[in-house]
Amino acid sequence: MNKNGYNVAVVGATGAVGVEILRVMERRKFPVANLKLLASARSVGKKLDFNGKDYAVEELNAAAFAGIDYAFFSAGATRSREFVDAAIKAGAVVVDNSSAFRMKEDVPLVVPEVNPQDLQNNKGVVANPNCCAAILAVAIWPLHKEFGIKRIVVSTYQSASGAGAQAMAELEDQVKSHVEKRKIEKKVFPHQIAFNLFSHNTKVAANGYNEEENKLIEEIRKMFHEPNLPIVPTCIRVPVLRAHSESVVIETEKPVDVEKARQVLAKSPGVKLVDNVEQNHFPMPLEATGDLDVLVGRIRKDLANDHSLALFVSGDQLLKGAAWNAVQIAEELIKAKA
């Protein structure tokens, strides 16, 4: 750090999450002294705006991290495995958005509203959770503290943004093709995404759950420090451009009280209560888009179980599910040094 702030690198700067990291740092007035944008060779020379100034994208290589204080990685697990060690050796603290380090025992997996204390144990790298895990964690952690969650059933409604900028473009292109009665092309997703929905496009493992569902199980357990917490996820792709939603049922140790749950959520950091029964107005991805908070509502008791609560959640996958959580982790690390 110098007197003007920190030297920051963004790896994968031209991708959907990389661009959002820049926008979030602007919104948060993150103390950036010098900024380095890194990406693959094909993006070199491309210019991106940050705080009114154009920065040219440089090629990602091991030497690029000299003098960097914080490095945000959003270029996929392969690139993270290849270059994170170089960044750490150069003295940077890495916040990694990929799946490369999330389940490594010595790497903290952090949502700051849930387990900021785990940041104390970092050895140069902190993992950012899967988008759905981050959004879910913010919504149910306050309820876990109040009622004690003993089982979670969650169905996700995951937008195209979760698969990156090309997937978002594919949804838009398919909608246009449908309207113009042209043949619908599939390049990013294995199935048509426009006017359709399908099981998350990751490989199904031997336990019957796909990769996304297994990530959700493992990551919530790790962040909550509940290694045996039963979780039953079903992850679905839906034709929404941006922001993920989740239908959640929790079973609890204590009897649940709907009004108490609302009160707890209303004052919880990172949560925005959207629970207007009279207007039938509950969380929606359109309203979650661009919001740093996670929208939580549709809160109601399980009519067959006094120890069970249902709710609906929407959160911006590119923000709380990725870029904002990453910047927030860096803010917490800076705060801890102060």
Distance of alpha carbon 85 from alpha carbon 56, whole angstroms: 24
Q: What pTM value is reported for the model?
A: 0.95
Q: How many CB atoms lie within 10 A of CB 137?
A: 27
**Which conformational region is residue 168 in: left (phi greater than 0), alpha (psi within -120 to 50 degrees), or beta?**
alpha
What pLDDT sits at residue 165? 83
- Is 235 considered catalytic here? no
From the candidates 131, 144, 200, 235, give the one annotated as an active-site residue: 131
What pLDDT sits at residue 164? 85
- Is 131 considered catalytic here? yes
> Cβ contacts of residue 271 below 8 Å, gap of 6+?
138, 139, 142, 265, 293, 294, 296
* 8 A C-beta contact, residue 198 and residue 205: no
Q: Give me the residue label for tokens 């043949």.
A: 183
Q: How many CB atoms lie within 10 A of CB 245?
A: 25
**Where in the chain are the domains?**
6-128+322-337, 133-317
* 8 A C-beta contact, residue 215 and residue 133: yes
What pLDDT sits at residue 218? 98
Distance of alpha carbon 314 from alpha carbon 286, whole angstroms: 9
CATH (residue range 133-317): 3.30.360.10
pLDDT (tens digit, 9 = 90+) per residue, 28-55? 999 999 999 999 989 998 999 999 999 9
Distance of alpha carbon 178 from alpha carbon 18, whole angstroms: 31
pLDDT (tens digit, 9 = 90+) per residue, 129-161? 999 999 999 999 999 999 999 999 999 999 999
Is-same-fold flag (6-128+322-337; 133-317)?
Answer: no
Give, in order, the Cα–Cα distances in Å from 294 to each of 28, 114, 186, 240, 325: 17, 13, 31, 17, 11
Distance of alpha carbon 38 from alpha carbon 30, whole angstroms: 19
**Which conformational region is residue 198 in: left (phi greater than 0), alpha (psi within -120 to 50 degrees), or beta?**
beta
From the candidates 225, 244, 281, 307, give the one annotated as an active-site residue: 244
- Low-confidence spans in the chain with pLDDT less than 50: none
What pLDDT sits at residue 337? 82
CATH (residue range 6-128+322-337): 3.40.50.720
In terms of DSSP H, where are the helices of the chain? Answer: 16-28, 77-89, 131-147, 165-179, 211-224, 258-266, 285-288, 324-337
